Structure formats: C-alpha cells, structure tokens
Amino acid sequence: MGASVMRAATLVLAFVATAAARGQNLEIEKALVTAEGMWAAKRPAAYEFTIQVSCFCPLPKPPPTFSVRNGVATLLTKPDDPRLSNSSYSFYARFNTMEKLFTTLRDHLRQQPTSMVVRYDPQLGYPVSAEIDVNKMVFDDELSFRVSNFTPVVGSLFGAAGPLTPRVGQ
C-alpha cells in the first residue's frame, strides 16, 4: 500500500508541476503577443542590431550585426578568422530579423519548455534577451540570445537609409 500511495503522490505532483508550467507558459504567451503587437505597431522600416546566441553549437566570432530594410536582412559583420566566409554565419538566418526572433520564441513556447525567460524592449517591444530550456532533463537543448546595439535607421527620400538615430534598448 505504501508504494501505491507514493506513486499516486508522484502523479499528483507531476500533474501540479505540469499545470504550473502551463500557467507559466500562458503568461509567457501573453507577454509574447503583447510585445509582438507593440513591435508591429512601432517597428522602424529599417534598423540594425547585433545578436549573440548561446547554444551547444559552434558559432563564428564575432557575433553578427544585421541591417534590416523592409524586412530583408543583410549581414554587416565580417568574420574575425580570414578562413571563414560570411556563409559561416548561415546559422543566424533564424535570428536575423525581429520577426524571426518572435517566430523562434513562439516555436519554443509550443514545445512547452521547462523554463523560458524573455525580456522585451519597453518602447518598441522587440525581444532584448531570452533564456530557454526546453527539457530540464536534457543538458544540451538550452538556447539563449541577447540583442544589443539596436539602432533604428531614419529613412530619407525614396526609402534610402539616412543617418543613424541614437541607440536604444541596450
């Protein structure tokens, strides 16, 4: 009888933990939807940013800086190692626009992560940083990223990029 009581208690605890995770994920989803709406309403037509990604994967140095114009990303970073080419930054194609960062967050949220902490820029709503652990029992599934040097670019006549505005959200 003691073993069946222990199994029942374990099942109840697992259910409580799952329910708590679902509640937490609902809050994370709400914040994601709010931030994405803010970004959609306020995003500049052109911007630049640097993104540092941490995961169990080999990444070129330095972290890449992208220029985004009308939703199209261009890599501005040149690799430190002359043996590397800009194509070595192809991993970052999933992270080269704010829209793709929102998609990455949404994709990970669908996996019901054990832990997900995301910070958003309070003025524009873009993701500033994220720490995601999909499964606490798996040691190499963690992903984190940090956006820095976000700079809206003021457009000039005919949509050409104009002078840079002050950096925000660092």
The three-class DSSP label of residue 166 is coil
pLDDT in tens, 87-108: 677 888 999 999 999 999 999 9
pTM, entire model: 0.74
pLDDT in tens, 42-55: 999 999 999 998 87
Closest CA relative to residue 48, chosen from 66, 28, 25, 70: 66
Q: Where are the alpha helices (DSSP H) in 65-154?
A: 98-110
